[in-house]
Amino acid sequence: MERGCVQVYTGNGKGKTTAALGLALRAVGRGFKVCILQFIKGGGPYGEHLIADKLAPQLTIIQTGKPGWVNTQDIAEDRRLAQEAFEQAKELLVSGGYDLLVLDEINGAVGFGLIDVEQVLELIRLRPERVELVLTGRNADERVIEAADLVTEMREIKHYYKAGVPARTGIEM
Amino acid sequence: MERGCVQVYTGNGKGKTTAALGLALRAVGRGFKVCILQFIKGGGPYGEHLIADKLAPQLTIIQTGKPGWVNTQDIAEDRRLAQEAFEQAKELLVSGGYDLLVLDEINGAVGFGLIDVEQVLELIRLRPERVELVLTGRNADERVIEAADLVTEMREIKHYYKAGVPARTGIEM
């Protein structure tokens, strides 16, 4: 890539992770190498994990975190896994192996106190100029928004969860 | 799919088409058949078109519209192409051939007056229960929002176009 940027997808609406997946698909189509490192998302496999092989070796998806959701009553294990993921993110970022690095749900990891916002800012500072860095998750910190080049808020106008439709295979997962 | 819904991605921010592409990728990973019909998007090929073959026959992307953007000075040809695309959308929707149908930029086609909002509402009414229908494009009509099950507004918080970064191969196209 000639010139990479920092993109943030935040907000309470649906479409943050899926937008990152779509970016990944488009970038793979252009011959770029893409890595999606997922924070606090050990569950699944979801549809995106099941298809990743078909786009390998250009697309790599790495899941981190416990299978369930963050255990806010006993957060030590979640924190340890998120810190490991942060170290991995640093390595992936500077490895030269990827044109597009998506750190999925990293804002959520900050929100739960699993990693510090200073660590996210460190990643933004470490980004090689030719790497596109995409950060997703609701409640992006103001300092992350400030440091980013492009920020989109996915705003929930209407959500079918409220109408009783559960998360569906192939759509939400 | 057990039960399909109608999803709308609208707003002035980045991520509407890419969210639909991400949904497509996830659905393909689950073994669903997906068609993306693009309104007013005859240009490219973009990254998503270049990769579609790798996910065929599960993923089909159909472009319609002129190569450039809508010519608001002479809109007859754009209207004709959009009306053809609308007829094709109807056929695809009821064909039984697809679990997920994305009508990309259909809201834009309405905004330019190329198709009528009543036609979009007709598609929503015609949707077989097991088909997921996704409509993208800014300025979604209020009646479309009313008829949808899930609506996300992609709100632009910050965009690098304003900082002078042009659309980039593999990211925006």
> What is the rounded distance in angstroms from the CA atom of residue B63 to the CA atom of residue B42?
5
Calculate mean pLDDT across residues B139-168.
90
CB contact under 8 A, A170 and B32: yes
Q: Residue B3 pLDDT > 90, yes or no?
A: no
Predicted local distance difference test score (pLDDT) of residue A69: 83
> CA-to-CA distance for A85 and A79, rounded, in angstroms?
10
Cβ contacts of A151 on chain B, cutoff 8 Å = 156-158
ipTM of the complex: 0.93
- In this structure, which CATH number among 3.90.79.10, 3.30.70.20, 3.40.50.300, 3.30.1490.20 belongs to the domain B6-156? 3.40.50.300
Who contacts A15 (Cβ-Cβ below 8 Å, separation ≥6)? A9, A154, B9, B15, B16, B19, B22, B152, B154
Strand partners, B151: A158, B8
Tell me the count of A-B CB pairs closer than 8 A: 207
Best mutation site among A21, A25, A104 for testing chain B: the one with the most B CBs within 10 Å? A25
Helix runs in chain A, H state only: 16-29, 47-55, 76-94, 106-111, 117-126, 142-147
All residues of chain A having their beta carbon less than 8 Å from the beta carbon of residue B27 are 47, 170-171
Mean pLDDT of the residues in chain B: 94
Name the minimum distance, in Å, from the CA of A7 to any CA of chain B: 9
CB-based contact A51 B26, cutoff 8 Å: yes
- Residue B165 has what pLDDT? 81
Of B22, B31, B173, the CB nearest to A19: B22
Distance between CA atoms of A81 and A9, rounded to whole angstroms? 22
The pLDDT value recorded for residue B75 is 94
Q: Which whole number is the average pLDDT over B131-135?
A: 98
Minimum mean pLDDT range among A78-87, A114-123, B72-81, B82-91: B72-81
Which of B43, B57, B124 has the alpha carbon at shortest distance from B86? B124
Question: Which residue does chain B place closest to A159, by CA atoms?
Answer: B150
d(CA A104, CA B127): 32
Residues of B in Cβ contact (< 8 Å) with A58: none
Name the residue in chain A with its Cα closest to that of B134. Answer: A171
Which parts of chain A have pLDDT scores under 70? 1, 162
Residue of B nearest to A169 (CA): B30
Q: How many CB atoms lie within 10 A of CB B147?
A: 18
Q: How confident is the model at residue B62 (pLDDT cuts 50, 70, 90)?
A: very high
Q: State the pLDDT confidence band at B78, using cuts at 50, 70 and 90.
A: very high
CATH homologous superfamily of A6-163 equals P-loop containing nucleotide triphosphate hydrolases (3.40.50.300)
Burial (CB count <10 Å: 0-12, 13-18, 19+), residue B65: buried
Global pTM?
A: 0.94
Q: How far apart are the CA of B115 and the nearest CA of chain A, in angstroms?
A: 24
pLDDT at res. B2: 73
Look at residue B116 in the predicted model and tell me its pLDDT: 98
Contact B48 A27 (CB under 8 A): no
What is the structure's pLDDT at B123? 98
Q: So what's the pLDDT on residue A120?
A: 98
The average pLDDT across B58-70 equals 93
Tokens 């970022």 locate to: A93
Query: Residue B61: phi, psi to the nearest 5?
Result: -120, 125
Q: How many other C-beta atoms are found inside a 10 Å radius of the C-beta of residue A167? A: 10
Percent of chain B with pLDDT over 70: 99
Q: Tens digit of pLDDT for each residue in A22-48? A: 999 999 999 999 999 999 999 989 999
